[in-house]
Amino acid sequence: MFRKLLTGLILIVLSGWASAQPTPQFVSLSVELDGSVYATWNMPSGSFDGFRLFYRPTGSMGAYNSVDFPATEEEGYLPVSDGMTTGYEAFLITFNSSGVSGDSNRLRTIMLLVSNGGTGTGIARLDWNSMKLGGGEFYVVYRSENGIDFTRVGETTQLFYYDTVNALCDPVTMYYRVVYETGIYYAASSISSGIFEDDNLPEDPVLSYVTIVDGKAEVHWAHSPTPDVSGYVIGVKEGPNFNDHATTGYTDFFTDDLTALPTYHDPCNEVVTYVMRAIDQCGNSSSGAVNYLRPHNTILISGDTETLCDRKASLSWNSYKNMMPPVSTYIIMRSFNGGLPVEVGSVPSGTATTYTFIDDELLEPGGSYTYYVRGVNADNTLSSESCRLELFPDPEQLAAFALDNLTVLNNERIDLYLSGSPASLIAEIEVLRSSEGPASLQPLVRTGWGAGSSLILPEPAAEVTGSSYYYRVVALDPCGFELASSAVMRSIFLELTDMGSGNIRLNWNAIEGWPDGPVAYKVYRFDNGQPAAGFPQQVSPSVLFFNDYASGAEAGRVTYYVEAVRSDDAVSRSNEVLLPGEADIRMPNAFRAGGLSPEFKPLVRNIEPGFYSMLIYNRWGQLVFETSDYTAGWDGSFNGQEAAAGIYAVIVRYRDFNGTDYVRKGFVMLFR
């Protein structure tokens, strides 16, 4: 019984001594190039005589071997030489003459296994064990072609790594080593090797855009990320297939000027579609999956001026595909006679395969116009330009076009005499007319020209007994564009005033628009429809009046008209006037302010100019207009503002040459 108690006390004392020894911290186990294993540890605080390192092959169930180190050492070698092929596990204790410490943490040498990581021979897979339980270490991967000189190729916190072999075009034995690094400590794995050859397909480049510069296509791309890419193969579309066209070095653009090759396509004559793939130093080609599925094409512009009668440019072009971000807008540029290009319009991109544009500019005949289209992406970082398209508008010009003459016919209408050649160019004419002056001309009518070189156009809307009229005629081509415009010509309006006692006063305006003017005016008089004796009377072209002393002339039976005479004997006749028997006023029943008849003005005959008044009232009895000038009219305004459309009452007072006063009442409709 006593011996048992004594033995227990001895164990308790020895255990106390053992626990009093400082426990070391095992830091690393590193496999050296000669197969030895190098260990490092931290120096613990406390007093002890030395370190004892226990080791055995990893996974072994046998007893540990041990080796002692002085208390001053923090590193040492395991007495083994097969560390490259055999893994070892180990731990440390401290000791003195009285006892030993507890065990340190356990470490294992890092044993590396290299295998083939791909379907070919171009990828190495590295696997290894963790040096300490729990893992979480940081590892650096090294590679060597001779097993001695190693180059860093990567890093990881995993227990595996894939290394892609590049630029090794023949089978080569590759050596690998993994190193655990933490602070100043270092632990290398065993070296493992495998035979590898670069048969890896490089990654595709990415096409950025295709554009045209000086008539040649330029292809731009982002490099393949594969490090041993040495060049690129450019392909072009031929029907449904893509054929290799050119090979480049390591660059990011290509100018397609290889016009002698059978695979060359002129981007100014057809749409050219490009693809590309990468080539590495061993001749491996990328799959092309990126660009062959998303090829890029040039923009082909076409156009003409003939479609719009050589007066405007009509353009069309194809869509640009697969720019990233996509093309959002097509900008149309134009230059004239070699000048700087200017933007003349834009067309938003959509899903259409072709786009069209008509330039609003009326092209100058004989000029040189250059157009091109630029497709721009949404963030304005990339663009593609078409070739330059030169257009030379050369519309056939009219040799002649003129309003040769006009004349009043039968006191009913004005006939316009026109000529133009060649007649085949003239599709229509547009007549402009005004009773106020050349600055107030307004479109009156458009009508076809016909096949002849001359045309007589009746104009029945003119009130020939109330006013003269200004005319201009415009020749139009089949597209509605102006070919030529005539000079402005004015008709003759004749007025008669019975001055009494057989004195008849005739006044008229000058004919306008004849290039050389008239050589004379002739005054015609008819009595009961028969030419009067002594007529016609000729007056100078500078004289615009005539006094006829017609004593005994019967009212209502004497008429007059005037003809302007040209040097080529052409004439322009005025309206006919009748020697009235009494004063007369004619009141229009409607007018449109600002229209062809812009004001309301009664037509008066044989009244005393100083004895005339006109009053106009609205429906509420307000006086909106008054005048004592028989030549003045109402323009449809009231107090400086537009009067409302509707019916207005009119009262006109006047006196004839015999001193008799009259009152005329009526209504007029104002239109807007």
Q: Is 4 helix (H, G, I), strand (E, B) or coil?
A: helix
Residues 116 and 102 in one domain: no
Lowest pLDDT segment from 132-141, 559-568, 661-670? 132-141
Mean of all residue pLDDT scores within the chain: 92
22 with 104, same domain: the answer is yes
Note whether residue 7 is domain-resident. Answer: no
Q: What is the mean pLDDT of residues 301-312?
A: 93
Instruction: Indicate if 588 and 574 belong to the same structural domain.
Output: no
Tell me the C-alpha distance between 578 and 560, whole Å.
7
Q: In terms of domains, do 132 and 210 share one?
A: no
Q: Are 371 and 391 in contact (CB under 8 A)?
A: yes
347/354 Cα distance (integer angstroms): 11
Q: By the 8 A CB rule, do 372 and 386 touch? A: yes
What pLDDT is recorded for position 182? 80
pLDDT digits (tens, 9 = 90+) for 591-643: 888 777 789 999 887 788 889 999 999 999 999 999 999 989 999 999 999 99
pLDDT digits (tens, 9 = 90+) for 360-385: 998 998 899 999 999 999 999 999 99
Same domain, 383 and 429: no
Q: Are residues 191 and 215 in the same domain?
A: no
What is the pLDDT at residue 546? 96
- Both tokens assigned to 85: 């092929």
The CB density around residue 46, as the number of other CB atoms within 10 Å, is 14
Domain interval for residue 658: 584-671
- Judgement on whether residues 21 and 104 belong to the same structural domain of the protein: yes
Express each pLDDT in 270-306 by its tens digit.
999 999 999 999 999 999 999 999 999 999 999 999 9
**Token pair of 30 as six digits:** 């590193």
Question: What is this structure's pTM?
Answer: 0.66
Is the pLDDT confidence value at 65 over 60? yes
Over 60: is that where the pLDDT of 576 sits? yes
Ramachandran assignment for 49, one of left (phi > 0), alpha (psi -120 to 50 degrees), beta (any other)? alpha
Instruction: Give phi and psi for 437, each to the nearest 5.
Output: 165, 170
The tokens describing 361, both together, are 């500019």
Q: Report the b/e string of 28-37 with b at 16+ CB within 10 A.
A: bbbbeeeebb
R_g of the chain computed on alpha carbons: 55
pLDDT at 6: 31
Shared-domain flag, residues 86 and 124: no
Task: Report yes or no on 8 lying in a domain.
Answer: no
Q: Are 434 and 505 in a shared domain? A: no
Report yes or no on 22 lying in a domain.
yes
Give the residue from 196, 231, 262 where a domain finishes.
196
User: Is 74 within the bounds of a domain?
Assistant: yes
Q: Does residue 571 lie within any of the structural domains?
A: yes
433-491 tens-digit pLDDT:
999 999 999 999 999 999 999 999 999 889 999 999 999 999 999 999 999 999 999 99
**C-alpha–C-alpha distance, residues 198 and 424, integer Å:** 76
Query: Does 6 fall in a domain?
Result: no
Backbone φ and ψ of 35, nearest 5°? 95, -5
C-alpha 52/C-alpha 90 separation (Å) is 10
Given a cut of 50, whether residue 9 has pLDDT beyond it is: no
Residue 10 lies in a domain: no
Pick from 366, 391, 416: which residue ends a domain? 391
The H-or-E segment that residue 369 falls in is strand 369-377
More confident residue, 248 or 655: 248
Q: Are 606 and 570 a contacting pair, CB within 8 Å?
A: no
Tens of pLDDT along 405-415?
999 999 999 99
Bridge pairing between strands 537-539 and 494-500: unpaired
Confidence band (pLDDT; 50, 70, 90) for 502?
A: confident
CATH classification at residue 574: 2.60.40.10
Residues facing 614 on adjacent strands: 627, 652
Average pLDDT for residues 507-526, to the nearest whole number?
96
Q: What is the DSSP string of 426-438?
A: --EEEEEEESS-G
Token pair 């005048």 is at which residue? 627
**Whole-number percent of the chain with pLDDT over 90:** 83
Residue 583 confidence (pLDDT): 76
- Establish if 4 belongs to a structural domain: no
On whether both 246 and 172 belong to a single domain, the answer is no
Map 163-232 to HEC letters. Answer: EECCCCCCCEEEEEEEEEEECCEEEECCCEEEEECCCCCCCCCEEEEEEEECCEEEEEEECCCCCCEEEE
Q: Give the mean model confidence (pLDDT) for residues 300-321.
A: 95
577: confidence class by pLDDT, cuts 50, 70, 90: very high
Number of domains in the chain: 7
Is the separation of the CB atoms in 405 and 449 below 8 Å? Answer: no
In this structure, the strands spanning 503-508 and 151-156 are unpaired
CA-angle at 621, arms to 615 and 626, nearest 5°: 20
- Annotate 99-127 with DSSP letters as a single string: EE------EE---EEEEE-SSSSSEEEEE
| pLDDT of 3 above 70 | no
3-state secondary structure of 557: coil
Lowest mean pLDDT among 58-62, 109-113, 135-139, 466-470: 135-139
For residues 520-543, give the mean pLDDT: 94
Question: Same domain for 528 and 514?
Answer: yes
Of 42-46, 131-135, 148-152, 538-542, where does mean pLDDT reach its minimum?
Answer: 131-135
CB 52 within 8 A of CB 92: yes
Tokens of 386: 């078409």
Boundary residue ending a domain (248, 268, 297): 297
- Contact present, 583 and 418 (Cβ < 8 Å): no
How confident is the model at residue 368, as a pLDDT? 96
Considering the domain architecture, whether residues 63 and 31 belong to the same structural domain is answered as yes
Provide the β-strand partners of residue 417.
405, 456
